[in-house]
Amino acid sequence: MKDLIKKLTEAWGPSGYEHHVRKLIQEEVADLADEVRVDALGNLICRVGQGDTKVMVAAHMDEIGLMATFVEPKSGYLRFSNIGGLINSTLFGNRVRFEDGTIGVIGLQQVTNSNRNGSSKLDDFYIDVSDGNGGNVQPGSPAVFWREMEVRGSRVIAKSLDDRIGCVVAIETMRKLAKQTPNEVYFAFTVQEEVGLRGARPAAHGINPDIGVALDITYSGDEIKNAKVPTRLGKGAAIKIHDAGLVVPPAVRDWMVKQAESDGIPYQLELITGGTTDAAGIQLAHSGVPSGCISIPCRYPHTTSETVDLNDVQACIDLLTGLLSNSVEL
* From 172, 184, 193, 194, active-site residue: 193
Active site residue 193: yes
What per-residue string of b and e applies to 290-299 under the rule 16 or more CB within 10 Å gives b?
A: bbbbbbbbbb
- Dist CA 277 CA 19 (whole Å): 21
Bridging pattern class, strands 54-60 and 184-190: parallel
Please say whether the beta carbons of 145 and 96 come within 8 A. Answer: yes
Please say whether the beta carbons of 103 and 96 come within 8 A. Answer: yes
CB count within 10 Å of CB 124 equals 16
Q: How far is CA 231 from the centre of its chain?
A: 18
Q: In degrees rounded to 5, what are phi and psi of residue 256? A: -70, -45
User: Closest by alpha carbon to 93, among 104, 83, 82?
Assistant: 104
User: Closest by alpha carbon to 190, among 3, 7, 21?
Assistant: 21
Could you tell me which residues are beta bridge partners of residue 242? 247, 271
- Evaluate the omega torsion of the peptide bond into residue 278 and state whether it is cis, within 30 degrees of 0: no
Please say whether the beta carbons of 38 and 46 come within 8 A. Answer: no
- Whole-Å CA distances, 202 to 185, 188, 286: 17, 11, 10
**Torsion on CA atoms 177, 178, 184, 188, rounded to nearest 10:** 80
DSSP of 3-44 = HHHHHHHTS--BTT--HHHHHHHHHHHTTT-SEEEE-TT--E
Catalytic residues: 193
